[in-house]
Structure 1
Amino acid sequence: MSKAFFYFPLVLGVFAFSNVSAQITALHAKIDSIARDARGTVGFAMLNIESRDTLSYHGNMHLPMQSVMKFPIAITVLHDIDEGQFTLNQLIHIDKSDLPKTYSPLRDKYPEGNVDISISELLSYMVSLSDNNACDILLKTLGGPEVVDQYMHSFGIKQIAVKASEFQMAQGWDVQFTNWVEPKTMVRLLDIATKPNFLSKASHDYLWKIMEATSTGPNQIKDLLPVGTIVAHKTGRSGTNDQGISAATNDIGLITLPNGKHLAIAIMITNSTADLTTRESVIARIAKAAYDDAILK
């Protein structure tokens, strides 16, 4: 059944939705109200994988990904494994020079480097723990950020840009904005990645295993959902500059609903002057509003 889209200007942006109803209108109003607390720009998109119901708020904006980019990087690595370029068990030698000072549980464990780590373990560090050095080691193995960018574009994920490594982003505030995505595009990528024929079964299963194992951002999408709700997600967060502006506080992923259906969701906050607790609360409350709406359908 085809979906018609209607656009209604609100105080903070534009909503696009698949049908007009009191329930949907109430969800729009709730997201709009919550988003004001961020004191910045909130981008949101969701898609019920099975019913195809959609909703977006600032869904076409180019918003900085920060570590959310590790999700498309992981997909690209697994694609190359399926193409025979690498294997999950393949060992990558890591020197101390591969481990600059940054957020890196990998570096904490092997501060002197000189160790061989499997690609599967690097993927786990990168996605589940959001390890910056594991990310850049995998980008180097792939051939650079441009390989991820080109692969995304090759299967229709056009409104995304992967241009800089974690190390490069750390060199200047503006660099992080070169890695961007539209929330609607990120939800589309989540949708594509759920399809069993997109990657091999082994790669598909491993991707969602490490997404589900994500330990970062416990106060974001997962925070207000019922205990035990399965959430496979990837977070991304920038620092705060001298003007008190935080460029990115993000969480994207797949929520399993009580009826067994799945809600793909992307919540991204940029240029916010609110503190971290407030930004995380905005994400948590929007996720809970979307979840509550989905389980009523």
Structure 2
Amino acid sequence: MMFRRAAVLVLLLVLAGCGEPPMLGQTDPLFDRQKMTADFQPIADRVAPGQLGVAVEDLGTGQIISFNGERRFPLQAVFTAPLGAAVMAEVEAKRLRLDDILLIEDVDLSPPPSGVADLWAGPMTYSVQDLLERAIRDGDNTAADVLMKRIGGPGAVTAWLQGRKVNALDIDRYQRQLQPDSLGLASFRADWKGEAAYRAALDKVPPAERRRAIRAYLADPRDTATPLGALRFLEAVNQAELLGPDSRRLLGRIISQTRGGAGRLRAAVPEGGRLNHIPATARTDLGFTPVVNDIGVYTLKDGRKFAVVAFISGSPLPVAEQEKAIADVGRVVIKAAK
């Protein structure tokens, strides 16, 4: 667990869609560290022998609480949020335009989920903005990889984050590399596009090899973040450290359209509140879903905002039970905020 106060006011809250100074009476610490630790522990026990990681920030006071906050967890689709921010930074720098047209050929296709790959029947073109929306809103791996390549690759995104003091959030591989690696598959090929073809290719890999691959993936420090690192990203976006107003508004609008994850942090939204978030789930194979995540920002009815990161890795529970655990993390936060 970790506690911090910061004497800085939030200038803009992208993921919540607006930015305001703290509410009156909200400049002092709110969270009870010991109580929240006690409340997170039974949730962690439920997902064992998997690991639960949590980081929470009161964006009005800068107070931070974490649970396994410095442990590394796989990102999965959470990476699309920093990717989107990096793309918008390139637009601001005038090295890229949202209406630029990018060509997608067979060598650019990536594993499911990918509506772009599913529709591919030959060279196709998409605008940068269309690909950005598909990558974040739909978790489209082809769209994400094409954008990643256009702005310099995974290393360029990580370097951009680190240059803005967003550390412990590392993007190292394209999804066309990461996803097959994590399941024991060879490098992705175009004739595996679509769920049925990809599933058929996966079924040819012996179960023992698939289990070894997923264990290696869970132990791999690449393409991971600590809960505190992911929280720092949310903080940097909301404090206007990464993007200008127009870019923040567009990124916030796209994130607000993100699909899925209704049973996670969203399930804890109180009456009159709202949540903008990025859920992420690894592929279920051999009855095991190794990663279930959610990050986002709650805005309460009274205007207060709380950034929340909830990561689960290596849990044998079904997805629905892991989602309930994340929802309970959200409930702990909302209860502590009352």
- Structure 1 length-normalised TM: 0.87
Counterparts in 2 of 1:194 and 1:186: CA distance versus 1, 3 Å = same
1:64-75 alignment, distance < 5 Å:
64-75=74-85
User: 2:292 maps to which residue?
Assistant: 249
Are 2:36 and 1:27 equivalent residues in the alignment? yes
Identity score, percent: 23
Counterparts in 2 of 1:255 and 1:172: CA distance versus 1, 3 Å = same
**Structure 1: gaps (5+ residues):** 1-14
Q: Kindly provide the CA deviation profile for residues 77-129 of structure 1, in whole angstroms up to 9, marking residues without a partner as x.
A: 11111111101121112224423441112334x33253321111111111111
Task: Name the Cα RMSD after superposition.
Answer: 2.1
User: 2:26 maps to which residue?
Assistant: none
1:1-297 alignment, distance < 5 Å:
15-18=1-4, 23-39=32-48, 40-108=50-118, 110-173=119-182, 174-175=216-217, 177=220, 178-196=222-240, 198-226=242-270, 229-242=273-286, 245-294=288-337, 296=338
- The structure where strand makes up a greater share of residues is 1
Alignment partner of 2:103: what SS?
A: strand
Return the offset for 1:25: 2.8
Aligned equivalents of 1:236, 1:136: Cα separation in 2: 16
Return the offset for 1:190: 0.3
Are 1:48 and 1:263, in contact at CA under 8 Å, matched by a contact in 2? yes
Return the offset for 1:226: 3.0
Return the offset for 1:211: 1.2
Matched pairs, number: 279
Aligned equivalents of 1:62, 1:268: Cα separation in 2: 10
Q: Kindly provide the CA deviation profile for residues 228-279 of structure 1, in whole angstroms up to 9, marking residues without a partner as x.
A: 632121122213454x553311101111122112111100001111111110
- Structure 2 length-normalised TM: 0.77
Aligned equivalents of 2:265, 2:296: Cα separation in 1: 8
Aligned equivalents of 2:32, 2:162: Cα separation in 1: 35
Counterparts in 2 of 1:121 and 1:31: CA distance versus 1, 3 Å = same
Are 1:238 and 1:248, in contact at CA under 8 Å, matched by a contact in 2? yes
Return the offset for 1:132: 0.9
Amino acid across the alignment from 1:215: R
User: 1:5 maps to which residue?
Assistant: none
